[in-house]
Amino acid sequence: MNFPRRTIRLKGNWTTQIFYECDDFLLAEKPEGIPVHETKDPSRMDFTRLLSNHLQIPELRTVNRLDLGTSGIVLLGKNKNKNVELDLLLKEAEKTYIFLCDGIPSWREHRMECFLKEGNKQVNLVRSGGKKAITEFSILHSDPNESISFGFAKILTGRRHQIRVMLSSLGFPILGDTVYGKKEKTETRMYLHSFRFYFTDFLGQKQMVQTDVPRDWIGRMPSISNFPFDT
C-alpha cells in the first residue's frame, strides 16, 4: 500500500517527511545534525520533541534511535499503550541503510558477525562480554578516482554504532565519521542514512517505506542519483 508523503517544516528551519502514519505510530525522516531525542541538555532541541510539538502529540516516543550525524527513517510511537508491540515491530522489521565509505572493498557482498561492547564514548569489537551484531553489506558502486564506495547495509541486529564500527574494522570507515574514521573533519556530514524500512503493520499487512537519497550526497558521488534501488 502506498501512503502519500507529507513534508513538514519544523521549528528551527528543520524539514522532515512523514512516510507512514496510523493511530499508533508513524515513520518520519530525521535530518542530519539534530539529536533524535532529548539529550542531557534539556534546552537543546531534538527531532522527537520538535515533531511532537508540531503534530501536537505529547506522547510521541522514539522507538529506534539514530546518531546525531545519521539521517533517515525513524519509528515513533503515538500511543504509550502500544510500546511493547512497537518494540517487537521494530525488532522484526527489515532495516536497510545506505552509506558512503572510504576505500574500495575487494568484495561486493559481505556478511559480518561480531560482538560489540559499549564504552564511554564509542563502541568496541570484543571477543567476549559484548552483544552479538550482524550486518549484511553490499557495495553498489565505487569511484576509483575518489577512492570511495557507495553501498547498502542491512542490519539484522540493532546495536549502537553497529554499521560504523563494522565498516571501520573492515578498513572502510563511513565518510565523515570522525569517531571511527578520519579524526579531522574534512566532510560536511557523516554519510550514513536509514534508507528503507520493511515491516508488518498491526493488521498483519506487509509495508515498505523508502526515502530518497539525501540531496547533499549527490555531489559527493553523482552516479548514485540514477542508481536502481530495488536491490
Residue-wise pLDDT for 197-229, tens only, equals 999 999 999 999 999 999 989 888 877 877 766
Between vectors from CA 166 to CA 160 and to CA 171, what angle results, nearest 5°?
145
The answer to whether residues 172 and 150 touch, using CB atoms and an 8 Å cutoff, is: no
Share of the chain above pLDDT 90, in %: 81
- Torsion sign over Cα 64, 37, 26, 190: negative
Looking at residue 205, what is its pLDDT? 95
**Nine cell digits for residue 173:** 570507515
Cα 180 from Cα 74, distance rounded (Å) = 23
As for how many domains the chain has, the answer is 2
Which residue among 92, 126, 152 closes a domain? 92
**Nine cell digits for residue 83:** 510500546
Burial class (CB in 10 A: 0-12, 13-18, 19+), 166: buried
- Torsion sign over Cα 60, 65, 68, 74: negative
Looking at residue 165, what is its pLDDT? 97
Cα 114 from Cα 127, distance rounded (Å) = 8
Which residue among 43, 65, 92 closes a domain? 92
What pTM does this model have? 0.94
Residue 215 DSSP symbol: H
CATH (domain of 64): 3.30.2350.10
Query: Same domain for 112 and 186?
Result: yes
